[in-house]
A and B are shown apart, each in its own frame.
Chain A
Amino acid sequence: MSEESSRVAGLVKWFKEPFKFKPTMLFLIPPLFFATVFIIYPLTQVIYLSFTSYSGFITPRWVGLSNFNVLFNDPVLQIALENNIIWVVIFLVANNFLGLMLAGSIDIMGRKLSSFFRIVLYMSVLLPTVAVSYLFLALYSPEIGLIDAGLKDIGLTALSKTEWLGNPSLTLYSVLGSSIWQYAAFPMLIFIAAFASINPSLYEAAVIDGASQWHIFWRIKVPIIRPVIITMLALTYIWNSQPFAQIYTMTGGGPGNASQVLVSYMFNVAYSELRIGYASAIAILIFLIIFPVAVIFFRTFEK
């Protein structure tokens, strides 16, 4: 109640504050220009287009909600949405969990080893996604791939002819694996920085009591950096929940539509099938998946 009234009071004050020109306000013109012309205006347009039928050439024709009707009954969209959800959940959990385990391990290593491992592990994060996807395309390939050859070497011949990308029920997970491998060092780096900022006095007592590092890690260090972990989960969601380059390079959404995700499907619908109106409806779905979560995150983050 009081929070509500103070918010109202704040709002009143906000409007009553007299406007005073300052020369630094001129610095705000370019970002406001770019945001309006190249983000907000296109956003209004994609909303408009989603209510039309449009091939990109003749003028768009208003069709009301029919694109959204199609959206709810499109079996391929259902696959893409399911795949996208699987991607987000597994990527979010695996990437941050592996990042946390790597960070926890590197945190208790000596100085030299720790900086060596940080340099090496972070390499893949900076490689272009298309480049890493190509390398995994090669690794997964039955002809020249390391993975099948390795399985054969250790005697798992039955598994050695696995079609990692050709098998419809495996393909999404194979792509996911490459992406998790590539990016796990990003949360790792953030968590290492967080661990390093913990005051050692907080766990020294536990060390003297003979607690294991494993125990100290899970019971003391991880709870302390919990806010950082939550931030990382939210940022991973905002930045990595719409994969495209990996899918486009490694499978093109195939075989069939087995590894289709929302962005790759939207891309096909828009630029292969030229169904701009329907593609815009998929774009709205992409927007709705990210925007509310980001807003909720930023709101809690500001407090």
Chain B
Amino acid sequence: MSANAASQGGRKRFNVGRVPMYAFVGVWAVTEIYVLLWAVFSGFKNTAQIDLNPFALPTSISFTSYYDDLTGGGELHVPLGSFIEHSAIVVFSSLIAILLIAIPAGYAISKKSRLNTAVFYLMLAMIAIPPAAILIPEVFLIRDLGFLNEFVGLILPYISFNIPFSIVLSRAFFRSFPKDLEEAGRIDGLGELGVFRRIVLPMSSIVVVILLIVNFPALWNELLYTLIILTSPKTETAQPGLLLYSGSYYVSWSNVFAGVVLVSLPMLIFYVIFQRYILKAQFIGAIKG
């Protein structure tokens, strides 16, 4: 938009003043691409080749490191494949629960009433409490419930910490929902729940997308709680699993690089699918709306 405005201002020729700007953004972009490709290619090498020349392109493409990481072979026997599976179970279950709880609740408190205002402020207060500050008693609670090393033991805190912000986001969306449509439903004889189910929900797919793009990266990325709650190889998740490739004296670099790529892959796929929504920064509009 503004680029056009500038050229209308009579400056069609190449603008020297903009060179630093392109250099700044361009160099930054190169580092992003370079780091990612470096990880992918290094995963195709073995550790000896990496030590010899870490920056050379792989002379032959070997899937050994990727394969070893997925199956738990290699020197360190870290079954990253099953850790990724555990992460997927935890994150997927948490997401479903968050959507099922936060969307109806966000709708409920989007209406004006003293109860709803109180609940809204309570949710804001919950957002203001850093999860790290309640880690210790939370772990005792999960232990007392008998859920240590059970997926549900991590899912419960994940749901609890992410519901408040999700409610605030969906409340903002439902506040801008056209009241006439709800009114029309009531005239047709639908009750409160009927209006929500038949009229509001079918038009709310964007809320689902917003909650997904806010919650999925946060959940997939979480380290602190999963590090303490899921420690057995039967339940351990991908982030702490990745840490197992570096012992105190030895780092198995080829496995690290392959592992980094494998653990990042779900996020990158997610990025490709939701890129359009993510790059619009839509959820910020939802906060203000």
Contacts and interface: CB of A to CB of B under 8 A. Distances in A.
Interface of A: 14-15, 17, 19, 22-25, 27-28, 30-32, 34-35, 37-39, 41-43, 45-46, 49, 56, 101-102, 105-110, 115, 117-131, 134-135, 137-139, 143-146, 149, 181, 189-190, 192-193, 196, 200, 203-204, 207-208, 210, 212-214, 216, 238, 242, 244-245, 248-249, 263, 266-267, 270-271, 276, 279-280, 283-284, 286-287, 290-291, 294-295, 298
What are the nearest 3 A-B pairs in CB distance?
Answer: A294-B128, A45-B137, A38-B160
A235 to B, nearest CB: 9
Interface string B1-43: 1110110110000000110011011001101110110110010
B239 A130 contact: yes
B128 A238 contact: yes
Contact of A102 (B25, B102, B109, B124): B25
Nearest to A289: B130
Contacts of A271: 228
B163 to A, nearest CB: 5
Given A144-B51, A210-B9, A213-B18, A135 B113 contact: no
Interface residues of B, number: 101
> Chain A contact residues: over half helix, strand or loop, or mixed?
helix
A130 B6 contact: no
B193 interface: yes
Contacts of B239: 128, 130, 245
B201 interface: no
A142 to B, nearest CB: 11
A106 B1 contact: no
A126 B268 contact: yes
B160 A117 contact: no
B134 interface: yes
A63 B267 CA distance: 46
Interface string B107-140: 1110101110101001111111110111111101
A210 B9 CA distance: 7
Interface in B250-289: 251, 253, 256-257, 259-260, 263-264, 267-268, 270-271, 275, 278-281, 284-285
Given A27-B104, A271-B228, A129 B6 contact: no
Given A28-B105, A46-B137, A106-B25, A193 B281 contact: yes
Contacts of B50: 144
B2 A200 contact: yes
B33 A291 contact: no
B217 interface: yes
B211 interface: no
Interface in B206-243: 217, 220-221, 223-224, 227-228, 238-239, 242-243
A216 B5 CA distance: 12
Contact of B160 (A34, A120, A248, A279): A34
Contacts of B279: 115, 118-119, 122, 189
A39 to B, nearest CB: 5
B134 A39 contact: yes
Contacts of B134: 39, 42-43, 45-46, 283, 287
Contact of B108 (A25, A109, A120, A214): A25
Contacts of A123: 32, 36, 268, 271
Contact of A131 (B107, B133, B260, B280): B260
A134 B133 contact: no
A109 B275 contact: no
B54 interface: yes
A109 B156 contact: no
Nearest to A19: B115
A200 B128 contact: no
A121 B32 contact: yes
Contacts of B104: 24, 27
B260 A135 contact: yes
A270 to B, nearest CB: 6
A280 B139 CA distance: 12
A193 to B, nearest CB: 4
A146 B113 contact: no
A42 B126 CA distance: 12
Contacts of A203: 2, 5
Contacts of B285: 193
B263 A130 contact: yes
A45 B29 CA distance: 46
Given A27-B107, A34-B160, A134 B256 contact: yes
A24 B284 contact: no
A190 B281 contact: yes
Given A123-B32, A190-B284, A287-B130, A42 B101 contact: no
